[in-house]
């Protein structure tokens, strides 16, 4: 069966209509539709089709059935985890990326998108105040970016210790010490496992009440690391939005004979693009590598991440782009950007194009306004909740997120009440914070990342949270809270 190019028009217009209807429904749409997995399997599953069907009918049924089980995380009152919205221009650019269907790791396979990604990378480095000669790769997200950065760190540290990973592998290689915050994110742990570094290699640094590394402990810990050492810090802690003291950390790392500093900036690295926030990242430019997400605070469509390595040559060497096989020798030899040297993917879509479109359309001013607005909205919500007796904001609100607890009394009561309040808010569907943990406490994590969130959304959400808190508190006071929470 041969498909015709004139088939695209009707089907893409069908998708456009359904997509616009969905997007425009987000302000009023319940965030969680509360449909069971069994019901979704009945709607979406079934036996393998044996015959061809009508493509337009398939699209319409797909949209109708899938939308019944979507979480409206692109809406203005979704405040859970670390999920952002999407700038309209980036979504539109991403549709073009799908239509162009280019494979971008090699310049020869897509010259124009290679240049677009090259430009987006240069603009990003300027926005974030990072070395303009650094290597930038566009990844599936911060997890892949961390993995890529830590592969580069591992290989570089071992090379400096006289060990060539590419030739010798890891058996009998020198041990690499790992030093991290006691608030280490799970993505760092996963990346360490992936590159062959176990938990027994990890030393943790204690943090303060805002979850920032206490730098006075670092010299003593690094003194115990008598070989290659990897240090990881955070720009934007998941539970508090706090930033580690990078200047002090970088000074300690630079004093070590063979150490590498990586900064996990999945959420908070973008603060460097704001004049009012960048003081929080003082010294971050002294690190050796960084990661961030586009699909969090920068509001790119999924998936979008970035890895940045100070020495682009080390990144290219670790990625092994020059050893891809004889059939690619000429492609790699071209003097232009070959993205395979900046990431692990040997084939991928042009993820940097939506980034290019956003920076081009918003400019430095528009990006800064978005970042500052999110922080202002988080602070507004924290201030409103703080006024209510029994609601505690656990951290200084310095960025776009905070953690809160509900109720008075012992930890167990507050933990259970907080869990009930958050789950009830999620079930109601009007707004969506999430639960998390804060030094052993069950908390409500409230994160403002969406370009569509307005002051009206914050005001309405505050009223809903306060109302729900009072209702759940009364229930817990009238009944056995342990039984209620089962």
- Residues 59-71, mean pLDDT to the nearest whole number: 97
pTM over 0.85? The answer is: yes
Distance of alpha carbon 343 from alpha carbon 306, whole angstroms: 9
Print burial letters for 12-28: b (CB count within 10 Å at least 16), e (below 16): eebbeebeeebbeebee
DSSP symbol at 437: E
- What SS3 state is found at 332? helix
Distance of alpha carbon 237 from alpha carbon 243, whole angstroms: 7
Which residue(s) pair with 437 in the sheet? 442
What was the pLDDT predicted at 483?
A: 47
pLDDT at 192 over 60: yes
pLDDT at 63 over 90: yes
What was the pLDDT predicted at 423?
A: 97
Q: Which two tokens stand for residue 188?
A: 């760092």
What was the pLDDT predicted at 331?
A: 46
**Would residue 236 be called left, alpha or beta, if left means φ above 0 and alpha means ψ between -120 and 50 degrees?**
left
Distance of alpha carbon 210 from alpha carbon 438, whole angstroms: 9
Distance of alpha carbon 286 from alpha carbon 249, whole angstroms: 9
- Residues 147-151, mean pLDDT to the nearest whole number: 97
- The mean pLDDT of the chain is 94
Residue 58 belongs to what H/E stretch?
A: helix 55-66
Distance of alpha carbon 87 from alpha carbon 76, whole angstroms: 12
What single string gives the DSSP state of each residue in 206-230? -B-TTS-B-GGGHHHHHHT--S-EE
Q: Give Cβ neighbours of residue 355 (< 8 Å, ≥ 6 apart).
A: 90, 117, 120, 124, 138, 294, 298, 300, 304, 306
Distance of alpha carbon 90 from alpha carbon 190, whole angstroms: 29
What was the pLDDT predicted at 324?
A: 56
Q: Using one digit for the tens of pLDDT, what is the confidence trace for 123-140? A: 999 999 999 999 999 999
Q: Domain 367-484 is in which class? A: alpha beta
pLDDT at 485 over 70: no
What was the pLDDT predicted at 201?
A: 82
Q: Using one digit for the tens of pLDDT, what is the confidence trace for 152-183? A: 999 999 999 999 999 999 999 999 999 999 99
What was the pLDDT predicted at 326?
A: 53
What was the pLDDT predicted at 484?
A: 46
On whether the CB atoms of residues 63 and 17 are closer than 8 A, the answer is: no
- Residues 444-473, mean pLDDT to the nearest whole number: 98
Q: Give Cβ neighbours of residue 336 (< 8 Å, ≥ 6 apart).
A: 107, 111, 114, 115, 118
Per CATH, the number for 92-358 is 3.40.640.10
What was the pLDDT predicted at 3?
A: 85
pLDDT at 386 over 80: yes
What was the pLDDT predicted at 328?
A: 47
Q: Which two tokens stand for residue 365?
A: 């001013």
DSSP symbol at 238: T
What was the pLDDT predicted at 200?
A: 82
Q: Using one digit for the tens of pLDDT, what is the confidence trace for 235-260? A: 999 999 999 999 999 999 999 999 99
Q: Which residue has the higher pLDDT, 333 or 45?
A: 45
What was the pLDDT predicted at 320?
A: 84
pLDDT at 88 over 90: yes
Q: Using one digit for the tens of pLDDT, what is the confidence trace for 388-434? A: 999 999 999 999 999 999 999 999 999 999 999 999 999 999 999 99
- Position 474 confidence tier, pLDDT thresholds 50, 70, 90: very high
Q: Using one digit for the tens of pLDDT, what is the confidence trace for 317-348? A: 999 866 655 544 554 455 578 899 999 999 99
């Amino acid at each position: 069966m041969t498909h015709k190019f004139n088939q695209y028009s009707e089907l893409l217009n069908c998708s456009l209509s359904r997509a616009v209807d969905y997007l425009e429904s987000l302000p009023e749409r319940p965030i969680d539709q509360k449909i069971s997995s069994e019901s979704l399997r009945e709607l979406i599953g079934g036996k393998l089709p044996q015959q061809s069907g009508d493509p337009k009918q398939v699209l319409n049924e797909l949209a109708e059935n899938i939308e019944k089980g979507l979480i409206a995380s692109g809406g203005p009152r979704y405040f859970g985890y670390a999920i952002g919205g999407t700038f309209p221009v980036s979504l539109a650019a991403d549709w073009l990326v799908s239509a162009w269907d280019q494979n971008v790791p090699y310049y020869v396979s897509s010259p124009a998108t290679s240049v677009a990604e090259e430009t987006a990378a240069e603009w990003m480095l300027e926005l974030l105040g990072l070395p303009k000669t650094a290597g930038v790769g566009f990844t599936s997200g911060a997890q892949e970016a961390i993995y890529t950065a830590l592969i580069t760190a591992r290989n570089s540290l071992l090379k400096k210790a006289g060990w060539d990973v590419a030739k010798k592998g890891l058996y009998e290689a020198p041990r690499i010490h790992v030093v991290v915050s006691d608030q280490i994110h799970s993505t760092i742990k996963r990346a360490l496992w992936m590159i062959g570094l176990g938990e027994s290699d990890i030393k943790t640094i204690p943090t303060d009440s805002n979850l920032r590394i206490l730098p006075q402990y670092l010299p003593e810990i690094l003194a115990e690391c008598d070989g290659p050492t990897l240090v990881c810090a955070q720009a934007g802690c998941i539970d508090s939005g706090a930033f580690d003291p990078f200047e002090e950390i970088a000074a300690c790392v630079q004093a070590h004979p063979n150490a590498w500093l990586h900064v996990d900036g999945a959420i908070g690295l973008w603060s460097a693009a704001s004049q009012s926030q960048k003081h929080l990242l003082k010294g971050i430019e002294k690190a050796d590598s960084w990661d961030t997400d586009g699909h969090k605070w920068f509001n790119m469509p999924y998936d979008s991440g970035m890895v940045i390595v100070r020495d682009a040559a080390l990144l290219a060497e670790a990625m092994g782009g020059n050893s891809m096989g004889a059939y690619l020798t000429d492609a790699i030899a071209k003097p232009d950007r070959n993205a395979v040297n900046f990431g692990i993917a040997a084939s991928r879509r042009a993820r940097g194009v939506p980034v290019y479109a956003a920076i081009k359309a918003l400019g430095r001013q528009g990006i800064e306004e978005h970042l500052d607005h999110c922080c202002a909205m988080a602070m507004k919500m924290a201030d409103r909740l703080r006024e209510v007796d029994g609601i505690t904001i656990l951290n200084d609100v310095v960025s776009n997120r905070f953690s809160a607890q509900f109720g008075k009394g012992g930890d167990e009561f507050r933990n259970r009440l907080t869990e009930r309040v958050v789950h009830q808010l999620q079930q109601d569907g009007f707004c969506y914070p999430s639960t998390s943990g804060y030094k052993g406490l069950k908390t409500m994590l409230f994160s403002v990342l969406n370009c569509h969130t307005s002051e009206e959304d914050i005001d309405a959400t505050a009223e809903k949270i306060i109302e729900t808190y009072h209702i759940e508190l009364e229930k817990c006071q009238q009944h056995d809270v342990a039984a209620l929470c089962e």
